[in-house]
């Protein structure tokens, strides 16, 4: 545990740096673990690191609330919650090194795997090795069919097969941690990562980025779980908004402003989040269908009392995750149909979707994030798509021009974000209407009058 005096000193140093930067109009770049540096506009300014201000402040499982400092690794928070069978229901992506919940030294995030018979080497590998790779790799969505019966292969009794998890990064790798040549094996055969601790996702970055995973459509977004924040504004003032319980709503909406702000309004010091119990049971189903049929099915299911907590579609393969009470999951599985996926394979598959280590994301083309109504028909855009959130989130890999993409999505009533790669000169986020731009500018002026926090990260003007 870090001494309180040392933590207070960190805050004093951060506040002093902010005041000095404001006086000199020096841009500041707020950094936690750096795992989401790719997201948003070009990085500018002197680094203001939050990694030293870390640790869980308070966690009350009975109240379903956790409060932690901004520099606290997200994996540490999720580990503490897991011990009490609770979770961050919005399923935030890490996009960085994730220690295994069973062994903190073990690399859990590894490159996507192809079907086991894709290469002669894999086809001739010992059965135990092949089973181990299946269970610890990320399953490309279009490979779900061939892997549905992988549960017939037993887990290896010895851990030596872990050595097979050290291939070179797949094409288009984006800097997130992979098991690589720089890693080594310990005596137990576990991969010991060379990745430094500051390349792990942090709570501050999680809130500031405002990104949610596969469960978002049923559970809600990051902002829906933010109860309160403590932050430093552009004048270095230590501000508190919201609280640590749901009934304390003072400043509640101001706290939510921090979610997705990309650090443009201030430096988050602490955040209080609502947590939820882990589901008693889960099952993943695999169905074969065309895109239009998949969209129709997902919207039909959304109108029924089914415990669907994630969906993902690509190349005529639809994955559906059910979570809840055992009886409810079983009843829903019978109602939906399809083929059940092995539990461990399913967990790895959804993790690959959340962390974008699935084979789909290794494509070197720019990645666009399209937010539309779930009922929107298939979009007529060049490239390949992966659909989540019941049809409301559509990932697009394409070389098409930004204008073409945004105009098409706007006609559907949605907006498009250049998520990874590509030319950012035309802007990363959908241009704002004049009224919305004015609201954003007024908020920026109120919290950061000197305009020093992450300039240009969200929009060129602020």
Longest dimension (CA), the chain: 66
Cβ(242)–Cβ(195) below 8 Å = no
Q: In the predicted model, is pLDDT for residue 219 greater than 70?
A: yes
Q: What is the pTM of this model?
A: 0.81
Name which of 194-203, 214-223, 225-234, 370-379 the model is least confident about: 194-203
More confident residue, 117 or 447: 447
Query: What is the pLDDT at residue 461?
Result: 79
pLDDT-derived band of residue 334, with 50, 70 and 90 as boundaries? very high
Q: In the predicted model, is pLDDT for residue 112 greater than 80?
A: no
Instruction: Find the helix packing angle between 127-136 and 343-354, rounded to 10°.
Output: 50
Three-state secondary-structure class, residue 371: strand
- Cα separation, 41 vs 329, in Å, equals 42
User: Residue 1: CA atoms inside 13 Å, Cβ hemisphere, count?
Assistant: 7
Task: Tell me the mean pLDDT in the region 92-96.
Answer: 94
Three-state secondary-structure class, residue 347: helix
- Mean of all residue pLDDT scores within the chain: 82
Query: What is the pLDDT at residue 5?
Result: 92
DSSP string, 20-54: HHHHHT--EEEESS-TTTTSSS---SEEEE-TTS-
Name which of 73-82, 158-167, 232-241, 434-443 the model is least confident about: 158-167
Task: Tell me the mean pLDDT in the region 40-51.
Answer: 95
pLDDT-derived band of residue 198, with 50, 70 and 90 as boundaries? low
Task: Tell me the mean pLDDT in the region 400-426.
Answer: 95
pLDDT-derived band of residue 40, with 50, 70 and 90 as boundaries? very high
Q: Residue 313: how many CB atoms within 10 A of its CB?
A: 26
Q: In the predicted model, is pLDDT for residue 161 greater than 60?
A: no
Q: Are strands 28-31 and 46-49 parallel, antiparallel or unpaired?
A: parallel
Query: What is the pLDDT at residue 86?
Result: 99
Cβ(255)–Cβ(228) below 8 Å = yes
DSSP conformational letter for 210? T
Look up tokens 């292969």; give the residue. 153
DSSP conformational letter for 313? E
Task: Tell me the mean pLDDT in the region 148-176.
Answer: 30
Look up tokens 């399913």; give the residue. 346
Name which of 64-78, 118-132, 353-367 the model is least confident about: 118-132
Nearest to 257 by CA among 448, 125, 401: 448
Query: What is the pLDDT at residue 247?
Result: 52
Query: What is the pLDDT at residue 96?
Result: 84
- Cα separation, 15 vs 19, in Å, equals 6
Query: What is the pLDDT at residue 246?
Result: 54
């Amino acid at each position: 545990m870090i001494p309180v005096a040392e933590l207070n000193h960190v805050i004093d140093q951060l506040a002093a740096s902010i005041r000095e930067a404001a006086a000199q109009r020096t841009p500041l770049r707020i950094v936690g673990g750096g795992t989401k540096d790719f997201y948003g506009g070009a990085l500018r300014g002197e680094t203001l690191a939050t990694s030293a201000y870390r640790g869980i402040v308070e966690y009350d499982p009975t109240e379903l609330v956790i409060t932690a400092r901004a520099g606290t690794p997200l994996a540490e928070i999720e580990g503490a919650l897991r011990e009490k069978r609770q979770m961050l229901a919005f399923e935030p992506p890490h996009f960085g090194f994730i220690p295994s919940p069973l062994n903190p030294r073990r690399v859990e995030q590894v490159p996507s795997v192809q079907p086991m018979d894709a290469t002669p080497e894999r086809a001739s590998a010992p059965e135990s090795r092949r089973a181990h790779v299946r269970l610890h790799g990320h399953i490309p969505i279009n490979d779900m069919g061939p892997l549905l019966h992988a549960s017939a292969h037993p887990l290896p009794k010895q851990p030596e097969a872990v050595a097979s998890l050290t291939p070179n990064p797949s094409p288009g790798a984006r800097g997130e941690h992979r098991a690589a040549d720089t890693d080594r094996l310990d005596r137990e055969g576990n991969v010991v990562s060379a990745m430094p601790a500051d390349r792990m996702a942090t709570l501050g970055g999680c809130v500031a980025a405002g990104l949610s995973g596969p469960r978002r459509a049923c559970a809600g977004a990051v902002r829906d779980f933010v109860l309160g924040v403590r932050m430093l504004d552009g004048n270095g003032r230590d501000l508190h908004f919201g609280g640590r319980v749901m009934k304390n709503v003072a400043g509640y909406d101001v706290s939510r402003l921090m979610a997705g702000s990309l650090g443009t309004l201030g430096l988050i010091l602490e955040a209080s989040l609502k947590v939820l119990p882990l589901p008693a049971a889960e099952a993943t189903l695999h169905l074969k269908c065309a895109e239009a049929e998949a969209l129709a099915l997902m919207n039909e299911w959304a109108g029924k009392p089914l415990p669907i907590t994630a969906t993902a579609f690509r190349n005529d393969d639809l994955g559906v995750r059910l979570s809840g009470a055992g009886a409810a999951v079983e009843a829903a599985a019978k109602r939906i149909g399809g083929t059940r996926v092995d539990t461990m394979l399913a967990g790895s598959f959804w993790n690959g979707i959340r962390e974008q280590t699935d084979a789909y994301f290794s494509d070197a083309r720019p990645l666009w994030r399209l937010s539309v109504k779930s009922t929107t028909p298939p979009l007529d855009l060049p490239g390949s798509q992966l659909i989540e959130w019941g049809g409301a989130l559509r990932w697009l890999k394409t070389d098409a021009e930004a204008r073409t993409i945004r105009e098409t999505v706007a006609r559907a009533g949605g907006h498009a974000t250049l998520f990874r790669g590509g030319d950012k000169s035309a802007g990363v986020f959908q241009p704002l209407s004049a009224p919305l731009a004015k609201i954003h500018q007024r908020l920026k002026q109120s919290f950061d009058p000197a305009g020093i926090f992450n300039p240009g990260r969200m929009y060129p003007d602020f």
